[in-house]
Structure 1
Amino acid sequence: MFTTDLIHSFLFQSARSYPEKTALVQGTERVSYRELARRAERVTQWLLRHNVQPGDRVAILTEQASEYAAAYFGILAAGGIVIGLNTQTSNHALSTVLTDSGSSIVLSHKKFQKYSSIINDQDSVLRYETDIRSLWENGERFDPRTLPRINPEDIGQIIYTSGTTGTPKGVMLRHRNLVVNTQSIISYLGLTEHDKVMAVLPFFYSYGNSLLLTHIAVGGTLIVNWSFLYPNLILDQMVAEGVTGFSGVPSSFAILLHRTAVKKYTFPKLRYLTQAGAAMSPTLAVDLSAVFSDAKIFIMYGQTEASARLSFLMPDRIVDKAGSIGKAIPGVTLEICRPDGTTAEADEVGEIVASGENIMAGYWHNAEESANVLKNGKLWTGDLARVDHDGFIFIESRKSDMIKSGAHKIAPKEIEEAIMQCRGIHEVAVVGHEDTILGEKIVAFIVFKENYTISKKEVLKHCRRNLPLFKTPHEIILLDELPKTSTGKIKKTELKK
């Protein structure tokens, strides 16, 4: 087990222990730990030469995994705060994050130079935009005497939420937050230097960030493919590289099960799957366990505000506790609370409240929003849940997702799970839409599996058999795809429009 209290030490410690071992694979590029550490050191030296001070925000914009990782650890070693930028961006989105964070430098891949005018015209403290790769190809040799003193309580990273429910907020994470969460994940997954993970989630996303940190910390290998356009190629790569783990969001697994030839493959070295990012329906979980019968499946729950992870369901409980997010990870305490802060009874719905060293410092320059979710050192997650008599937690809904129809408050999750049990369903999302009589009517957006044609009447008939009348959708809309963020989360605010 690694021992460090600073995030960037993960890389440099693994580079000392496993210098020639492959750290990252992406396309034809294979980068060793020794080389990745060298690149990160060159980034650090360049930043220090350009007067980056502890606490300065430095942004990263690239689709190249080795560039991102070198910049990430290099920024941290220089005392900077990492701002990972979404590569599926726009002029407005880019300007918003850079201006809000006050980033002084953008390290980017040359492909993103098309945004140069936006980056340099913004009203901020931005001083430089430079091509990451040039920093280690033409940069100065590293001088460790120039390194600043960094405290574990210093902010190491600001991750902007994906914005499924509104304007993205900058989540401030200390070195300590990320270190303890990384250590906990390594512990319950049993990760070692022998592990190779198929990383399909971008590193600028909280879940992808945790994959980067956990595997670099143990000296493992990240097999990176951030394109899901050709999922069969990802399956080929999993076999060829002998991956031991695959991490995805529910939509990742739905695509593998319904839109690939996954049942024709065998994965002799695959030992675990992890799922997080959104709730996975019990139907999808059961289907997944049938296809990957030799792999342990970890259903996980977390938030960016918690440095990624809060709970997990042990693989041997996936059937008898179907739909549960399990129990708190090591080092975290989870409670189900009423609005007044008192603890809810078993099977009583309340809000998940989390405490532990992984909880964020707050939202960047947003004291009001911080105070709304951080109370007495605890994180009020906004997720409504119940705990059964065995201590297993079951999420009912996000507070913001609740549909108020007539006299009823309805959680979309129950309706979504019922619809997923209908044959031929690939994905579903349920939202409330303004209605003059009911207040909100229930609208279900459905994507069918390939080569399936089912009528809306058949879906409604299925709902009436499996749901109370007041929870039956008032309208069904068929789509080819659900709108999602780049990290696979469904954009329910877009569906509501």
Structure 2
Amino acid sequence: MYTVADLLLSNARTRAGAPAVIDGPNVLTYNQLADRAHHAAGHLASRLTSGARIALLLPRSADAVTAYFAAHLAGLVPVFIHDQLRPRQVAHIIDHSEAGLALTSRRLAARLHEALPPERILTPEDLTQTTDGTRTTVPTISRDLAGLIYTSGSTGRAKGVMLSHDNLLSGARIVADYLGLTQADRTLALMPFSFDYGLNQVLATFHAGGAVIIQRSAFAPDICRSLLDHGVTGLAGVPSLWSDLLHPSSPFTTTRYPSLRYLTNTGGALTPTTIQAIRSAHPQLDVFAMYGLTEAFRSTYLDPALLDSKPTSVGRAIPNCHVDVLDEEGRTCPPGVVGEIVHRGPTVTMGYWRDPDTTTLVFRPRARLRPPWSETVVHSGDLGYTDADGDLYIAGRRDELTKIQGIRVTPSEIEADISAAGMTAGVVALIVPDPDGRPDPSVLVAVEPRDAYFNLDALRAYCSAELPPHMRPRRIEILDSLPRTPHGKPDRKRVLSLLTNTSEEQ
């Protein structure tokens, strides 16, 4: 297989009648999915030229999977947009990616009105109109741009990570191999396709010829019902999901799932308590603790046999890739010494779309052989160390980028979105451990009002309406004047002290 479209087309040739996507009561075989994708590709290819970007603002669904493969068959570059993002954030991605069209649902179409004219906004239903029946496949090669994944950055604006077909197929093949995926596997798709984790689930399952089960509801009892009803073999999640599934009100620990054989986790470490609870309830499960960043697509995993003895480790580099821990001089750190985590291998992506300066900072050449032969590696900004066995542990970040609900976010991104309300003269956002011990951190915000008419309830309402759930403040504190450093910048340490010493929630 050379391109992402081949994942579908090869299965349609060899496993035509096998289920590819199960979305509620609807089952699409590989042949049916290929027919629908080819049909939609004809419409798309008639409107956009090869290499153009197409935005996909769609909930997890069979329609979203169809649209994704249709875009590839039409030679386009799909850009999934998280369906919880607000219009201003959606508009930024549309504008920055220079998307020529957007595919969305009728329910979500209003979020695109600021970004595109109506004639450039389509729904999946628009692609079902009769055509001449031609099976459109626009030629692409493995090194072509195959997608943009938008991820948070230190500037406060999402950056588009460029992935090639090689990146996506390498990630699919490697993950399918170490998870032991086969044609019998049924993967529950709960993670958004706009994240590398969620997208890789689909591609790895298709690489093995298995079936993807669409899970729309994130309510723990609904997830548990799907695990049983569809004979799910694999479930991917982030720490907040395991917290929900292990809650006393959830049936996860009291129900047996005879088909379920593995869980995967990323977006934050599994706690020993969580591991013990999962193990006690389902001792047959292999639990894979993983680590990665979009810029390297897939990075490491811990052998499930080591989870009990090394619960805080994320293991070693995935096959055919390598992860180094380097000091400030670029030398390999000895075991136990913290350095920056640097990735190399076929999953290292192509850089940032329309951002050569940041690309140069993060994607750097590194000589590997004598005489020097250079390859591009990713400097993650994550800090870590290895133990004597070579297993990796995460120690923090060089910057302030954090994951909440598995989604990367920076304080500056939250500050930019709250400032856009026009109600404040200054905003400082802090991401701190949750005071109630929940696995995801909390967002605390201090604001300096713009004028005497400032209304805290109005700002809260704005945050609820304009910020996605993972970015919403747990508490907003009003300060007459934000403390500042001698250089005139907000004194974040002082703000942290003020907010964490205030016990009452506003």
TM interval, shorter chain, is 0.7 to 0.9
Match of 2:193 in 1: 203
Contact 1:83 1:159 survives alignment (8 Å): yes
Q: 156-165 or 186-195, which moves further after superposition?
A: 156-165
Pick from 300, 317, 320 the counterpart of residue 331 of structure 1.
320
Tell me the CA shift for residue 214 of structure 1: 0.9
AA paired with 1:314?
D
Contact 2:60 2:193 survives alignment (8 Å): no
Query: Could you say what secondary structure the match of 1:394 adopts?
Result: strand
1:187 aligns with 2:177: yes
AA paired with 1:282?
P
Against the structure 1 CA distance between its residues 282 and 400, is the aligned structure 2 distance closer, same or farther, given a 3 Å change threshold?
Answer: farther
AA paired with 1:108?
T
What do the CA deviations read for 1:154-198 (whole angstroms, capped 9, x no partner)? 100000015698321100000111111111001101101100012
Contact 2:11 2:30 survives alignment (8 Å): yes
Tell me the CA shift for residue 225 of structure 1: 1.2
Question: What CA distance in whole angstroms lies between the structure 1 residues aligned with 2:100 and 2:301?
Answer: 38
Pick from 120, 129, 140 the counterpart of residue 121 of structure 2.
129
Q: Pairwise mapping of residues 9-28 of structure 1 onto structure 2 (< 5 A)?
A: 9-28=6-25
1:366 aligns with 2:362: no
Pick from 264, 268, 278 the counterpart of residue 254 of structure 2.
264
Query: Could you say what secondary structure the match of 1:335 adopts?
Result: strand
Question: What CA distance in whole angstroms lies between the structure 2 residues aligned with 1:104 and 1:268?
Answer: 46
Tell me the CA shift for residue 334 of structure 1: 0.7
1:300 aligns with 2:299: no
Query: Could you say what secondary structure the match of 2:93 adopts?
Result: helix
Query: Could you say what secondary structure the match of 1:300 adopts?
Result: strand
Question: What CA distance in whole angstroms lies between the structure 1 residues aligned with 2:159 and 2:432?
Answer: 28
Count of residue pairs the alignment pairs up: 421
Q: What RMSD over aligned residues (CA atoms) do the two structures have, in Å?
A: 3.1
Contact 1:47 1:75 survives alignment (8 Å): yes
Question: What CA distance in whole angstroms lies between the structure 1 residues aligned with 2:306 and 2:393?
Answer: 13
Question: What CA distance in whole angstroms lies between the structure 1 residues aligned with 2:257 and 2:114?
Answer: 45
Q: 485-494 or 218-227, which moves further after superposition?
A: 485-494
Query: Could you say what secondary structure the match of 2:308 adopts?
Result: coil
1:38 aligns with 2:35: yes
AA paired with 1:186?
A
Match of 2:263 in 1: 273
What do the CA deviations read for 1:428-479 (whole angstroms, capped 9, x no partner)? x9x9xxxxxxxx9995422368xxxxxxxxxxxxxxxxxxxxxxxxxxxxxx
What do the CA deviations read for 1:217-241 (whole angstroms, capped 9, x no partner)? 222111111321x311210121111
Tell me the CA shift for residue 287 of structure 1: 2.4
1:226 aligns with 2:225: no
AA paired with 1:94?
V
Q: Pairwise mapping of residues 310-349 of structure 1 onto structure 2 (< 5 A)?
A: 310-349=299-338
Query: Could you say what secondary structure the match of 1:288 adopts?
Result: helix
Against the structure 1 CA distance between its residues 492 and 16, is the aligned structure 2 distance closer, same or farther, given a 3 Å change threshold?
Answer: farther
Against the structure 1 CA distance between its residues 488 and 76, is the aligned structure 2 distance closer, same or farther, given a 3 Å change threshold?
Answer: farther
Pick from 95, 103, 107 the counterpart of residue 111 of structure 1.
107
Contact 1:351 1:380 survives alignment (8 Å): yes
Contact 1:278 1:489 survives alignment (8 Å): no
Match of 1:166 in 2: 156
Query: Could you say what secondary structure the match of 1:55 adopts?
Result: coil
Unaligned runs of 5+ in 1: 403-411, 414-428, 432-439, 450-482
Tell me the CA shift for residue 275 of structure 1: 0.8
Match of 1:242 in 2: 231
Match of 2:85 in 1: 89
Q: Pairwise mapping of residues 429-440 of structure 1 onto structure 2 (< 5 A)?
A: none
Contact 1:45 1:141 survives alignment (8 Å): no
Pick from 353, 373, 382 the counterpart of residue 342 of structure 2.
353
Match of 1:282 in 2: 272
Contact 1:11 1:33 survives alignment (8 Å): yes
Tell me the CA shift for residue 493 of structure 1: 11
Unaligned runs of 5+ in 2: 366-375, 404-408, 412-428, 439-463, 477-495, 500-506
Query: Could you say what secondary structure the match of 1:364 adopts?
Result: coil
Against the structure 1 CA distance between its residues 287 and 489, is the aligned structure 2 distance closer, same or farther, given a 3 Å change threshold?
Answer: farther
Q: Taking structure 1 as the reference length, what is the TM-score of the superposition?
A: 0.78
AA paired with 1:35?
Q
Question: What CA distance in whole angstroms lies between the structure 1 residues aligned with 2:181 and 2:467?
Answer: 27
Contact 1:165 1:492 survives alignment (8 Å): no
Question: What CA distance in whole angstroms lies between the structure 2 residues aligned with 1:134 and 1:33?
Answer: 22
